[in-house]
Amino acid sequence: MAQLIGGLGTSHIPAIGSAIHKGLQQEPYWKPFFDGFPPIREWLGAKRPDVVVLFYNDHGLNFFLDKMPTFAVGAAPEYNNADEGWGIPTLPPFRGELDLSWHIINTLVEKEFDIVSCQEMLVDHACTLPLKLFWPEGDCPVTVVPVCINTVQFPLPKASRVYAMGKAVGEAIKSWDSSKKVAVIASGGLSHQLDGERAGFINKAFDLQFLDSLETNPEWATQFSIHELVEKTGTQGVELLMWLAMRGALTAAGPKVRRVTGNYHIPISNTATAVLALEAA
């Protein structure tokens, strides 16, 4: 059976891609954010995952407001990156892991999750930036299964529903008939609001409590309704649902995790940024 080795989380602000392209990682504005990644890259170098399952939210590239699935799973041999208008250089296609994709899809449907299966899928910065941040040199060394969660068009899935979906994905990974090592990635957040009267809103206290809960009490955030999470984190801060899905997946490897490293920094482009690595116990 496949080995579920751990979970990673990172913010995915488009400006990060521009900073990478321009080589600004050591500039004072960017350095506190990028300094969080070397320990994770060292861990990845030691663990060497073969595959990543990446929980992310699409920003209108593959889905739009007229057709927005709650959950969508990629089942493509490769995933093409397209420019969304941010001026970020596009990356070569990412290789898919078809066998795991269909195993996850079949498992989710069996567990009564209604999902969209995508045999073609464009991916945006929410997919490309985590992979570039974790593996900055050369081509991406892992195959990818993207799992898209709606955080854009209401109604959004409940936090408890997303956590349960993540658990089902983890169970699918653990039951996958393969000797490969798999990591799960959460892409998004944390607290931020980009528009309206609360534009620029950041809730540091909630963010830090949420990050701590992922290690010690992973179901903590499922007590809140979506509207409560929007109130506490901002309209775009609900991207923390990706982190809940990632943590839910890790429950398939056991009840406890070990925190490898983490970093929290505010603000980057009016967003609270975080990076976290959790090792399956």
**Which residue in the list 12, 21, 103, 192 is annotated as catalytic?**
192
Count of helix runs (H) and strand runs (E) in the chain: 9, 11
Tell me if residue 148 falls in helix, strand or coil.
Answer: strand
**Which residue in the list 12, 103, 125, 265 is annotated as catalytic?**
125
| Residue 192 a catalytic site member | yes
Q: Count of alpha carbons within 13 Å of 214, Cβ hemisphere only?
A: 33
Closest CA to 153 of 221, 237, 67: 67
Q: Which residues contact 207 (CB under 8 A, 6 or more apart)?
A: 190, 191, 233, 264, 272, 274
| Residue 12 a catalytic site member | no
Cα dihedral: 216, 219, 225, 231 (round 10): 20
Token pair recorded at residue 36: 């969080």
Closest CA to 144 of 152, 153, 135: 135
Residues with a catalytic annotation lie at 125, 192
